[in-house]
């Protein structure tokens, strides 16, 4: 059978379309790898940064906070302001800003300029993942949307396995500025991949800042965001204190904890890919099941961490269960946002950073009260159950309403 529009056999055109979609998703994954490396490498280099700009380690921690604040501010603002732009162009400019921010970080002459550069680097983070999720979902059939989202997010998780350890090693050997420069190079590779492989499409008709902000009128969007904030908060109540937990309870050395974090990253990668498949099969039951699984793992984490084999297994499963939720919640937001998909999808990453702050704060309160390192994860289990309760309320509100699929799979032919 010959396709009249292309003079190509229909099966050849389908293969070409599939190849284009795969390359486009790979370009987004490269961007996820660059952003993930840039986000987490600062955590392993705090002593080096503190020495380099002559500040204390607690002050150096503000470098991480500045990036997180940039994500929280940039995600909704950029998604709303960029509503009229074609998504390929917006992705390119977001990654260009990320490159500039990381190069500025590498060249920062003082602590205040470094904090400002990290804030600027965080601004494009959430919007890139939010817009990228919509682009990825549009390149595949509707029953594979969550899979496409998970493949983009896999770049972020692989960064924890490969990118962060390697750049941390570079920073420890050659100085803290080099990792930021290397992240800038990764960003430039992403720029080339976006330019070459993301299909060019005109901006969607009728998309304005007002239509994007309309997502905030829907209570299901707020319930999804609240589910993520509370549910992920349980994960971060544990992850924020993973190093002292492993050294205190399981008696690992500081060096060995680096390997444990790589195990966590492998678990994250498995979890993200699993979450995409589960969400495509049955979204809301997968959301309920993932939050319940997080609660079970967190309640048992403190017990398992008392032995080295148990700690390794717990960290791996911990990585899987937390990451399963990410593509599921991303897809849920895309479904319930209606006309404001870009804003809602970007807000998912603001939610992650807010959850990080919430979880770290609650975990710190527990430790300040003199409870042991078994307890942040137990409190995290309670937060995960609270997130499940919110998700169940959201699901009840869906009862009787036909499912709405927010993203379709448009033709990939060039326009």
Residues 94, 53 share a domain: yes
Residues 289, 350 share a domain: yes
Q: What is the mean pLDDT of the chain?
A: 84
Name the DSSP letter for residue 1. Answer: -
Predicted pLDDT of residue 401: 52
Contact 181/67 with Cβ under 8 angstroms? no
* Enclosing domain of residue 130: 1-206
Has residue 13 got a pLDDT over 70? no
Tell which wins on pLDDT, 35 or 10: 35
Render pLDDT for 104-150 as a digit per residue (tens, 0 to 9).
Answer: 999 999 999 999 999 999 999 988 988 898 898 888 888 888 888 88
Residue 408 inside a domain? The answer is no
**Full-model pTM:** 0.76
Contact 405/252 with Cβ under 8 angstroms? no
Q: How many domains does the chain have?
A: 2
Residues 370, 222 share a domain: yes
Render pLDDT for 231-248 as a digit per residue (tens, 0 to 9).
Answer: 888 888 887 778 788 888
Residues 252, 170 share a domain: no
Which residues are paired to 8 by β-bridges?
A: 3
Residues 221, 171 share a domain: no
Residue 98 inside a domain? The answer is yes
Residues 218, 164 share a domain: no
Q: Give the Å distances, CA to CA, from 219 to 174, 184, 292, 318, 344.
A: 50, 39, 23, 30, 12
Predicted pLDDT of residue 177: 95
Mean pLDDT within 201-227: 77
Has residue 4 got a pLDDT over 50? no
């Amino acid at each position: 059978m010959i396709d009249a529009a292309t003079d190509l056999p229909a099966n050849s055109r389908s293969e070409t379309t599939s190849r284009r979609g795969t390359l486009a998703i790979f370009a987004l994954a490269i961007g996820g790898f660059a952003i993930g490396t840039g986000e987490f490498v600062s955590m392993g280099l705090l002593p080096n940064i503190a020495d380099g700009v002559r500040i204390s380690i607690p002050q150096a921690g503000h470098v991480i906070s500045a990036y997180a604040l940039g994500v929280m501010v940039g995600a909704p603002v950029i998604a709303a302001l960029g509503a009229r732009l074609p998504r390929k162009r917006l992705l390119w400019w977001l990654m260009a800003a990320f490159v500039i921010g990381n190069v500025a970080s590498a060249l920062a002459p003082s602590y205040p300029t470094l904090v400002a550069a990290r804030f600027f680097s965080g601004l494009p983070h959430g919007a890139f993942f939010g817009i990228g999720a919509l682009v990825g979902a549009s390149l595949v059939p509707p029953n594979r949307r969550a899979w496409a989202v998970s493949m983009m997010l896999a770049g972020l998780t692989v960064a924890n396995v490969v990118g962060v350890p390697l750049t941390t090693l570079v920073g420890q050997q050659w100085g803290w500025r080099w990792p930021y420069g290397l992240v800038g190079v990764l960003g430039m590779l992403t720029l080339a991949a976006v330019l070459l492989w993301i299909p060019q499409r005109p901006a969607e008709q009728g998309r304005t800042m007002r239509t994007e902000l309309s997502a905030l009128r829907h209570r299901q969007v707020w319930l999804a965001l609240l589910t993520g904030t509370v549910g992920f908060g349980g994960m971060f109540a544990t992850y924020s204190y993973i190093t002292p937990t492993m050294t205190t309870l399981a008696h690992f050395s500081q060096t060995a904890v680096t390997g444990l974090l790589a195990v966590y990253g492998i678990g994250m990668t498995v979890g993200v890919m699993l979450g995409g498949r589960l969400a495509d099969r049955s979204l809301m039951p997968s959301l309920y099941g993932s939050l319940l699984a997080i609660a079970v793992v967190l309640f048992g984490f403190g017990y398992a961490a008392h032995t080295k084999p148990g700690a390794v297994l717990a960290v791996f499963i911990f990585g899987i269960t937390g990451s399963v939720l990410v593509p599921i919640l991303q897809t849920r937001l895309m479904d319930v946002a209606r006309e404001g998909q870009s804003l809602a999808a970007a807000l998912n990453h603001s939610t992650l950073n807010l959850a990080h702050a919430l979880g770290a704060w609650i975990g710190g309160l527990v430790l300040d009260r003199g409870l042991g390192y078994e307890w942040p994860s137990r409190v995290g289990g309670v937060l995960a159950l609270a997130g499940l309760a919110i998700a169940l309320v959201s699901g009840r509100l869906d009862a009787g309403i036909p499912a709405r699929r927010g993203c379709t799979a448009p033709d990939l032919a060039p326009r």
